[in-house]
Amino acid sequence: MADLLTISDENFDQEVIKSDLPTLVDFWAPWCGPCRMVGPVVEELAGEYAGKIKVVKLNVDEAQRTASQYGIRSIPTIMLFNGGQVVEQVIGAVPKAKLEELLRKVL
C-alpha cells in the first residue's frame, strides 16, 4: 500500500501545485457517506500508480481555504492536477474505471 498523504491548507501548494508528478486530490470529509465509498478506491489507485501519480486526500472541514479556492461545493470531488493546473475533475462517488480513465490522460 502506498502512502496516502493527507494534506492541508498549509502544504497544498508544496504537495500539489509544485509536485513533479501528476497529483490526484480527493476532497472529502469524514461525515460524507459517498466519500467513504470512494476512499478505498482512491487508496487502491495510490498503490497501483505509485511512482507515476501522487495521490492525496484533503479534508474540506480542516482545509476550508483550499476547498473554497477551488470552488468545492459537493464532496467527494476528485481533481487531477498536472503542472500545477487542474486538468480533470469529477464530483460524486464514481467507479474506479472512471478514475483510471482520468489518470490515463496524464500518463
Given the residues 32, 38, 55, 67, select the one marked as catalytic. 32
Whether 32 is a known active-site residue: answer yes
On whether the CB atoms of residues 29 and 35 are closer than 8 A, the answer is yes
Given the residues 16, 25, 35, 67, select the one marked as catalytic. 35
Whether 48 is a known active-site residue: answer no
- Active site amino acids: 32, 35
